[in-house]
Amino acid sequence: MDLRVLVMISGRGSNMRSLISNARNYSISAVLSNKPEAAGLEHARGAGIQTYAFASGEHGSVKAMKRAIWEKVGELAPDLIALAGFMLILDQDFVDRWYGKIINIHPSLLPELPGLGTHRRAIEAGHAAHGCSVHYVDGGVDTGPIIAQARLATAAGESEEDLAGRVLALEHRLYPWAVANIAAGFVWLEGRDVKYSREAVSSAKSEGFEIFGG
């Protein structure tokens, strides 16, 4: 049976769309957002996927909204949670509860450039290489065990917008690859070590993705 994946978003949801349209070995069982106006929600509904939207106003505080979100995730009991531009800081008990079953995509070659504004910072720092990472989520900001990365060479004089667009195109390939390989049992976590089957090693190589550990 397909792995049931819950995608959590806050905005445009382009990675969510890529996860939906490239689903292999998994299905998107629900999409949840902490922003009712997130553009990605409408697309998910159009694709016939169950959506859940939360607004801090309705819950009285961000803290109460977070509690409601964590409860809903518990009810949904997904096999995997894929954060895709989800902009709420996760509480430690939530991360602990889902450790090993929650992943994120980040627009930099971690551990370089955690946090926001990665494309501007890559340009300002004169990085010759930039890209994106998919990682398991731990209690830190973009610090969890890295599953895979896709890398590109920055171009001289390239604008932040152009660089962001090129990285996003890589994200749209990398994230479905990672989820499909987890779903197939080809990628898994042991403690803080990411493990890969031979199939994952060879498909990462043919896609041009870098993987970590062994």
**Which residues of this protein are in contact with ligand GRF, per CB under 6 A?**
9, 11-15, 84-85, 105-107, 132, 168, 171
Least separation in angstroms between residue 191's CB and ligand GRF is 25
CA atoms of 58 and 60, how far apart (whole Å): 6
Residue placing its CB nearer to ligand GRF in the complex, 53 or 197: 53
Least separation in angstroms between residue 202's CB and ligand GRF is 25
Least separation in angstroms between residue 84's CB and ligand GRF is 5
In angstroms, the Cα distances linking 178 to 49, 115, 164, 186, 214 are 21, 21, 20, 9, 15
Burial of 143 (0-12, 13-18, 19+ CB in 10 A): middle
Least separation in angstroms between residue 172's CB and ligand GRF is 8
Residue placing its CB nearer to ligand GRF in the complex, 13 or 145: 13
Residue placing its CB nearer to ligand GRF in the complex, 67 or 166: 166
CA atoms of 198 and 204, how far apart (whole Å): 10
Burial of 44 (0-12, 13-18, 19+ CB in 10 A): buried
Residue 106 a catalytic site member: yes
In angstroms, the Cα distances linking 14 to 10, 18, 103 are 11, 6, 16
CA atoms of 162 and 209, how far apart (whole Å): 21
Choose the catalytic residue: 43, 59, 106, 130.
Answer: 106
Q: Which two structure tokens, joined as six digits, stand for 150? A: 């896709």
What residues act catalytically? 106
